Amino acid sequence: MSPFNAAGFEALFNPKGVVVAGASSHPGKFGFVALHNILACGYEGAVAATNRDGGEVLGIATAQDIADLDADTYDLVFVCTPASANVDLLRAAAKKGIKAAFLTSAGYGEAGEAGIVAQQELVALAAELGILLAGPNGQGVVSTPAKLCAQIVAPYPPAGKIGIASQSGNFVSSFMNLAVQSGVGVSRAVSAGNAAATGVADYLEYYANDPHTAVALAYLEGVNDGRGLFERLRSIAARKPLVLLKGGATSGGQRAAASHTGSLASDDRVFDGMCRQAGITRAANVEEAFEAAASFATQPLLQGPRTIVITTAGGWGVVTADAITNSELELAVLPDDLKAQIDTKLPPRWSRNNPIDLAGGETRDTIPEVLQLVAEHPDVDAIVYLGLGIQSNQAQLLRNGRFYPDHGIERIVAYHERQDTRFAEAAAEISAATGKPIMTATELGIADPNNAGPAAVRDSGRLCYSTANRAVTALEHMWRDARYRQRRSRVNG
Amino acid sequence: MPTLSEVESKRLLAQHGVPMLDEQIVPTAEAAVAAANEMGYPVVAKLNGDAIAHKTERGLVKLNLRDAASVHAAASELLSAATPDDGEVQVLVAPMLKGNRELIAGMLSDEQFGPTVMLGIGGVLAEAIQDVVFRLVPITEIDAHEMIEELSTQKLLGEFRGEPAVDRESLVAVLLGLSKLAAADPKIVSVDVNPLIVSPLDGRPLAVDALVEVAS
């Protein structure tokens, strides 16, 4: 492990200027796409491009050599040139004051003996020049505080607080696609590629101290220095929640990982124990990983396991109670004083138990009022809220039917949509005010993203969980993280 | 890789706080009877020696000996079964501990993560159940408690078939002992405490057999 190159990471994630080396006029080539993405996604720093033959690409007059560019104007070079050109390129870049290089170039460690030698030379050269070397064979880097989309793939995600680092570039894309879909955004994202000099843990180390990042989300496959990785991840997780997805959990996956990254895999149970010991919360699949990270990024941090379900329909509540009971969370016993308070808001047929089933007894203000009562109770740590958007779903059918807007339909449609919007907003506001997670779950977020309920959840900056089980799983990740901290802080005073 | 004898393995573990079943090492069948009389019946007799690892496979474990005559017969048989390769041998006599619950604990060196402490559900179904958790050496008391908490078969750790709940503090001591042992001597490549029987009297886990493997 090389010493932490702070200036290099600053140049990678907050560059004052970027050079695309190997810019191409062919829109199918990486050298074109990279320049396009930087220019099209709003980057405000200086942008230059080089091309062996010169000429114009996307309105930019390319230089034939980095040596021809102004010095101290650019600190990041995004490299799309063939491996054979990169030694001279890095030397020229260093002379111009460039501090970080992201290499998309293939033909290194993944490409046999000669590639391995070339990669070792590259690492030594970058160290000698003091340049942070990212990649090679990586897809790129995204940094929303800098409006930087320096990558050879889509998408450019909305801004947010999730910091992503991955051993596999396509997982960066997957996580960012989920960010686009859910509206829960990303601070930084990077694909480590061959991780020749800079690995996933190095990027996470940057995120741990990055004020724009609230939670780190990582994908790992193989491990080369397990003990060193453990120590580093533990130190990172001590500063910020760290959600990890690991490929190669089964022997079949391990064989695939060995051929993908050339790294050896441990017994998965040892890896799992390592995660628990380091305070990492490990997810089983890509959607679970993203949703856990999105919860840390947008909900208040959980303080305890006692969870209450609030539902407008019984069946959902039962299944959610099962999910909580099967998790490390606790299905809270509904306190008597809270029961009495809710009695004043609902007709007697409500469940009088957890799940709180409103049983259709709610009137105009019941849902925000009950959410508030429950969230404010000292014996409650979190709420899962079900049933948002049902009325707006009917409203959509009314709006699209042939009787609209007559027969009073227009008015009721507006009312339902106003109500669901209010409920979503109330859930976010009450959660923020009480410092307790309120997770809103409905499949309507997928079935109809324009439904007023889920749309308002998204507008509040939060994730609308597509099922109650997924909300419970995300909450369980939050509890593992919180419990780890609570137990250790008690010991450490 | 060489292994320490059962006695030596247990002595090492006991030094690091792993609770052991009381046992005696004796040179003759007569002494075995005396030891059994002292600890009460039934007892177990095993052949002990530095070079003996696979006792069960060789029939060198005699279980459930209920009186002096059977102890004498068993001990004589064990001593005469020793081969020159076994080196110096003795007879190990221990109370026959019968509990419904068996755990396994140990220390293993992982290729990527180095020394680890392991805890699992033992017994004849252990391999099918595969309920086992790991931590990297060294572990803290909190880590040890969390290992116990992470076993899936929690019902086995509570009150069970008229036996008290597993004494978690004692089990924590076993895990911490394994961690300290591994940390103290990097030449130890594995430790297998199997079975670790949960005492039906007080719920304490007691190591009935142990094997320490050291780097050659």
Continuous H helices in B60-167: 68-81, 126-129, 141-150
Q: What backbone torsions phi and psi does residue B71 show, to the nearest 5 degrees?
A: -65, -45
Question: Do A109 and A217 have their domain in common?
Answer: no
Question: Do A260 and A111 have their domain in common?
Answer: no
User: Is residue A90 packed enough to be buried (19+ CB in 10 Å), middle (13-18) or exposed (0-12)?
Assistant: buried
* Residue A211 CA to its chain's centroid (Å): 15
| Sheet bearing B24-26, strands edge to edge | B24-26, B89-95, B43-49, B61-65
Residue A492's closest chain B neighbor by CA?
A: B142
Residues of chain B with pLDDT under 70: 53
Domain B22-95 CATH (choose: 3.10.20.30, 2.30.30.90, 3.40.50.2030, 3.30.1490.20): 3.30.1490.20
* Helix H or strand E segment including A331: strand A330-331
Query: Which residue in the set A227, A265, A273 is minimally distant from B135, CB to CB?
Result: A273
Residue B107's closest chain A neighbor by CA?
A: A270
DSSP A412-474: HHHHHHHHHHHHHHHHHHHHHHHT--EEEE-THHHH-TTSHHHHHHHHTT---BSSHHHHHHH
Q: Which of B121, B134, B140 to mutate to test the interface with A (most CBs of A within 10 A)?
A: B134
Question: CB count, 10 Å around CB of B183?
Answer: 15
How far is B154 from B169, CA to CA, in rounded Å? Answer: 16
| Yes or no, beta carbons of B134 and A273 under 8 Å apart | yes
Query: Which residue in the set B111, B132, B136 is minimally distant from A274, CB to CB?
Result: B136
Question: Do A112 and A222 have their domain in common?
Answer: no
Among A298, A315, A348, residue at a domain's last position:
A298
Does a structural domain hold residue A489?
A: no
Could you tell me the pLDDT band of residue A3, with boundaries at 50, 70 and 90? confident
Q: What is the pLDDT of residues A29-80, one digit of tens each?
A: 999 999 999 999 999 999 999 999 999 999 999 999 999 999 999 999 999 9
Does a structural domain hold residue A492?
A: no
Could you tell me the pLDDT band of residue A259, with boundaries at 50, 70 and 90? low
CATH value at residue A262: 3.40.50.261
Q: What is the pLDDT of residue A222?
A: 81
Helix, strand, coil percentages for chain A (3-state, nearest 5)? 45, 15, 35
Question: Do A294 and A388 have their domain in common?
Answer: no
Query: Which residue in the set A224, A270, A488 is minimally distant from B116, CB to CB?
Result: A270
Question: Do A422 and A471 have their domain in common?
Answer: yes
Question: CB count, 10 Å around CB of A299?
Answer: 22
Q: What is the pLDDT of residue B98?
A: 82
Indicate the SS3 state at residue B139.
coil
Q: What is the pLDDT of residue B2?
A: 82
* Residue A237 CA to its chain's centroid (Å): 16
Are A287 and A470 in contact by the 8 Å Cβ rule? The answer is: yes
Q: What backbone torsions phi and psi does residue A272 show, to the nearest 5 degrees?
A: -65, -45
| Yes or no, beta carbons of B114 and A270 under 8 Å apart | no
How far is B49 from B79, CA to CA, in rounded Å? Answer: 11
| Yes or no, beta carbons of A226 and B110 under 8 Å apart | yes
Question: Do A388 and A458 have their domain in common?
Answer: yes
In sequence order, the 6+-apart residues with CB closer than 8 A to the CB of A429 are none
Query: Which residue in the set B110, B134, B142 is minimally distant from A487, CB to CB?
Result: B142
Question: Do A88 and A55 have their domain in common?
Answer: yes
What is the average per-residue pLDDT within A284-304? 97
How far is A29 from A105, CA to CA, in rounded Å? Answer: 12
Q: What is the pLDDT of residues A133-189, one digit of tens each?
A: 999 999 999 999 999 999 999 999 999 999 999 998 899 999 999 999 999 999 999
CATH value at residue A31: 3.40.50.720
Does a structural domain hold residue A150?
A: no
Residue B110's closest chain A neighbor by CA?
A: A266
CA distances from B118 to A13, A243, B3, B193 (A): 41, 24, 19, 10
Q: What is the pLDDT of residue A261?
A: 47
Report the alpha-carbon angle A49-A179-A304, nearest 5. 135
Q: Does A447 touch chain B (CB under 8 A)?
A: no
Question: Do A333 and A371 have their domain in common?
Answer: yes
Among A86, A108, A142, residue at a domain's last position:
A142
Window 101-160 of B: residues touching A by CB (8 A cutoff) are 110-114, 116, 132-136, 139-140, 142-143, 146-147, 150
Question: What architecture does CATH give domain B102-214?
Answer: 2-Layer Sandwich (3.30)
Q: Which of B104, B112, B149 to mutate to test the interface with A (most CBs of A within 10 A)?
A: B112
Q: What is the pLDDT of residue A295?
A: 98
In sequence order, the 6+-apart residues with CB closer than 8 A to the CB of A2 are A127, A197
What is the average per-residue pLDDT within A417-444? 98
pLDDT: which is higher, A353 or B2:
A353
Could you tell me the pLDDT band of residue A258, with boundaries at 50, 70 and 90? low
Q: What is the pLDDT of residue A468?
A: 97
Domain residues for the domain of A249 are: 157-298
Q: What backbone torsions phi and psi does residue A90 show, to the nearest 5 degrees?
A: -65, -40
| Yes or no, beta carbons of A488 and B111 under 8 Å apart | no
| Yes or no, beta carbons of A276 and B114 under 8 Å apart | no
Q: What is the pLDDT of residue B126?
A: 79
Are A222 and A257 in contact by the 8 Å Cβ rule? The answer is: yes
Q: Which amino acid is at A218?
A: A
| Yes or no, beta carbons of B142 and A272 under 8 Å apart | no
Could you tell me the pLDDT band of residue A266, with boundaries at 50, 70 and 90? low
Q: What is the pLDDT of residue A105?
A: 95
Q: Which of A227, A270, A476 to mutate to test the interface with B (most CBs of B within 10 A)?
A: A270
Of the candidate ranges A249-258, A392-401, B12-21, B179-188, the one whose mean pLDDT is the lowest: A249-258
B150 vs chain A: nearest CA distance in angstroms?
10
According to DSSP, the residues that pair with A143 across neighbouring strands are: A148, A188
Question: Do A304 and A414 have their domain in common?
Answer: yes
Whether A257 shows a pLDDT value over 70: the answer reads no
User: Is residue B86 packed enough to be buried (19+ CB in 10 Å), middle (13-18) or exposed (0-12)?
Assistant: middle
Whether A264 shows a pLDDT value over 70: the answer reads no
* Helix H or strand E segment including B13: helix B6-15
Residue A486's closest chain B neighbor by CA?
A: B142
- E runs forming strands in A199-311: 215-220, 242-246, 281-283, 306-311
DSSP A301: P
DSSP A241: -
Whether A129 shows a pLDDT value over 70: the answer reads yes
Domain boundaries, chain B: 22-95, 102-214
Judging contacts by C-beta atoms under 8 Å, the chain A residues touching residue B112 are 223-227, 264-266, 270
* Helix H or strand E segment including B115: strand B114-121
Judging contacts by C-beta atoms under 8 Å, the chain B residues touching residue A270 are 110, 112-113, 116, 134, 136
Indicate the SS3 state at residue A253.
helix
Q: Quote the number of domains for chain A.
A: 3
Closest CA to A307 of A328, A291, A288: A328
Judging contacts by C-beta atoms under 8 Å, the chain B residues touching residue A262 are none
Indicate the SS3 state at residue A103.
strand
Judging contacts by C-beta atoms under 8 Å, the chain A residues touching residue B113 are 223, 226-227, 230, 266, 270-271, 274
What is the average per-residue pLDDT within A101-117? 94
Q: Does A110 touch chain B (CB under 8 A)?
A: no
Does a structural domain hold residue A275?
A: yes
| Yes or no, beta carbons of B132 and A269 under 8 Å apart | yes
Q: First-to-last CA distance in chain A?
A: 32
A137: its two tokens: 């064979």
Whether A346 shows a pLDDT value over 70: the answer reads yes
Among A298, A322, A356, residue at a domain's last position:
A298
Report the alpha-carbon angle A251-A166-A207, nearest 5. 135
Q: What is the pLDDT of residue A260?
A: 52
